[in-house]
Structure 1
């Protein structure tokens, strides 16, 4: 009898049920928190954990948490719908197809270079603005690129989403992970910059090579591709310029103007409508196409909300701090290497119920740094172990709504995604552990 792997909706509902069961059996507890003026965030006070009276959640509270989680993720849901609708309009004008064909013709015979540049570009986006949810709306572009290059769509997702997550995880300048961790650990932002850059370059090079090699279809060859000169034309050129300009403007707004999801949504609403009119879809045609784009992206948006519901239930049950305390306490008194490995895998496990990288930094770094001080290890190890673990797990854990939404929009089954990346992911895991051992010496 053939086993049918659960649908992503079923997987996340299963995690919601498991979180509710965990909230029933795991003792409730919490750490004291104080406001850190440097970061403007609440941080945990070390050695302040106290058990609390058990909070039991009823079945109705579990079920209600599902729509509450979707509502909490409504800003991302709206962003996904609006940006996804905008790119759907761009695709229907034909400009996207022409643009990708022109790009491929430009790199005819050098697809390897094209894919390297794509991986590099997305790794930089991950390293600087932690791009993830924004990639959901770019899936139509990725699908066209996959088809034209005759590359497995899972490889293209790996070179975009995977490279972005890798960039965020190994970057020395990611404000939501590395830089935030440095501040919370009271370390100089520039400390360890060279070490992080070296690990980043090594990890990205290996990942990119593996994704390109794995993605090439066995039935296709470079000679089979039909390269034809493509004229973009002024109309398609203007549409593509607006689309690219929107992506660049979004990056500028996030980094320079502290934009949130609403500002990004508003920007692409204007871009989507403008591209439809320029592409001669007409007012009604643009509106109809945009609404069809909503339909294509709605499930990807709901996935993000379901992932948030998992964290919401654990938060209501007041067991997140209990889990962190239980994972960190046994590390005291262990040899340095074992303690660092234990800290790394503890951070991996914590990231399943706490899918926010910045949130996990705020929760765990204030607890990990005193542990490092107690063991006589540099606080850099507390930051590095958290930084590597969170974004590596972002590639795997179903509670990462962004990843689940991207693969869902690309038509990739969760089990197929895991099967495709697992060997490459394990290699990144090995690189992370080796770099942590080297860091013990580097920062001693």
Structure 2
């Protein structure tokens, strides 16, 4: 007798049903953008006058806030918010595409596989030790040149390494994202946050170096211990991984890598590998000495991909095909960046961004003096949701927070530290942070799963920030 066809129909598992109920990140960001549009009908419009700021960038005059005629976002404005967001975020979108293309070229040359193979063999008997080493290295780079976007570069290298060592994609993404965010937050030599903020506040550039180094050491230590604890749990029981389902194909591909003969580089590959430190040195010099940002870094990475590909033996056609394939792999992440930017576009079009900043600044002014620095950090954290750019947030908020600190009996150095804590840790939490969401796409990790992994550590970091701010306020820290 013929079996009923219904018996052959796949019944989704509870995990699949739960996943289907999760809103797609496009939907989530669209909803947030819609709520921002609604706020333009509820919050009075206002504006600060723009004046020349540090490094030729536009800042605000803190004494110039005035209410203006309401201009709530129309349906047409809302419809255009995402395309305008794409255009506004074009630098980081282009940067994301170039990162994807450049890494695909490096994969085709097989020098990434060779490097991962050597690292995995070197650390296979003490694999947990690689976590604090890499976390410290990446944090030091980020605190020096102020580019947390380099996490997009690290993730494609770290995932095969940590899968082959018996961990998961979350461990790899955690190292890349947390390390760069911590270095960026501590801002020992960060030109985009500390440098600009101190220029706005009339302080010596990079003063307060000592305490910021202590901050960096403490938060890197905490971050290392947190990721190591998670990694040990995954090593003992892989089913406890937040990305167990997503890593299934990766485990098949990389888990037996150490059982195979060691990969050996050809002479051409060795020459290509030797050029990588040179390119990194150029990158550091360009960012720290020449003021490079994403466009310049993108140009360097294009040149790097072409040159390394040719040296390794790839034809120009294969280099171009690799770039194209890499573009496809990061397409979703690049689109997310533009959609995330649409939230700020809506607030700016409705002329309520300045109103929100002005209102939050006044709110801090009404707090008891003992809570002023903590209040500043909380306000900066809230503003970061709408302005997920460290330098952009500094240019908008520090002209208000610096004189407000004088009125509240808080040193300007402490106000900058409050800005660092409020801005930095949230870069890898809020879905409006474009590079962060792109990094999750590259790692194959859903935002909700990342939040489950990172949120306990986020609150620990915020607690650490409060302790440092209390110390700075009680001691009258001036750097």
Same structural fold, with TM-score higher than 0.5 when normalized by the shorter chain = yes
* Residues 269-318 of structure 1: per-residue CA shift (max 9 Å, x gap): 23223333344443333322221111011111122112222111111111
Deviates more, 1:268-277 or 1:352-361: 268-277
Residue in 1 aligned with 2:439?
406
Q: RMSD of the alignment, in Å?
A: 2.3
Deviates more, 1:413-422 or 1:153-162: 153-162
Deviates more, 1:178-187 or 1:343-352: 178-187
* Residues 46-86 of structure 1: per-residue CA shift (max 9 Å, x gap): 34321110012211111112111112222222222123111
C-alpha change, 1:49 and 1:144, in structure 2 (3 Å) is same
C-alpha change, 1:407 and 1:26, in structure 2 (3 Å) is same
Which secondary structure state, in structure 2, belongs to the residue aligned with residue 143 of structure 1?
helix
The 2-side partners of 1:136 and 1:218 are apart by 25
Corresponding position: 1:175 with 2:191: yes
Corresponding position: 1:273 with 2:306: yes
Corresponding position: 1:5 with 2:38: no
Q: Which runs of 4+ in 1 moved over 6 A?
A: none
The 1-side partners of 2:279 and 2:23 are apart by 36
Corresponding position: 1:371 with 2:404: yes
Alignment of 1:399-438 (within 5 A): 399-438=432-471
The 1-side partners of 2:357 and 2:172 are apart by 35
Residue in 1 aligned with 2:217?
201
Residue in 1 aligned with 2:246?
none
* Residues 159-178 of structure 1: per-residue CA shift (max 9 Å, x gap): 12211111111122111111
C-alpha change, 1:440 and 1:122, in structure 2 (3 Å) is same
Which secondary structure state, in structure 1, belongs to the residue aligned with residue 51 of structure 2?
strand
**Structure with greater Cα Rg:** 2
CA contact (8 A) 1:102 1:231 kept: no
Give 2:82's match in structure 1, choosing from 54, 66, 71. 66
C-alpha change, 1:437 and 1:402, in structure 2 (3 Å) is same
Residue in 2 aligned with 1:53?
69
Unmatched tracts of structure 1, length 5 or more: none
Residue in 2 aligned with 1:316?
349
Residue in 1 aligned with 2:289?
256
Alignment of 1:167-246 (within 5 A): 167-216=183-232, 217-219=234-236, 226=258, 229-246=262-279
CA contact (8 A) 1:172 1:179 kept: no
Deviation at 1:442, TM superposition (A): 2.3
Residue in 2 aligned with 1:165?
181
The 2-side partners of 1:18 and 1:344 are apart by 24
Deviation at 1:146, TM superposition (A): 2.2
Corresponding position: 1:33 with 2:66: no
* Residues 169-208 of structure 1: per-residue CA shift (max 9 Å, x gap): 1122111111221221112235322122112111111111
- What TM-score do the two structures reach when normalised by structure 1? 0.93
C-alpha change, 1:220 and 1:56, in structure 2 (3 Å) is closer
Residue in 1 aligned with 2:134?
118
Corresponding position: 1:302 with 2:319: no
CA contact (8 A) 1:80 1:134 kept: no
Deviation at 1:394, TM superposition (A): 0.5
Give 2:38's match in structure 1, choosing from 21, 41, 50. 21
The 2-side partners of 1:225 and 1:263 are apart by 36
The 2-side partners of 1:80 and 1:394 are apart by 17
Corresponding position: 1:90 with 2:125: no
CA contact (8 A) 1:169 1:387 kept: yes
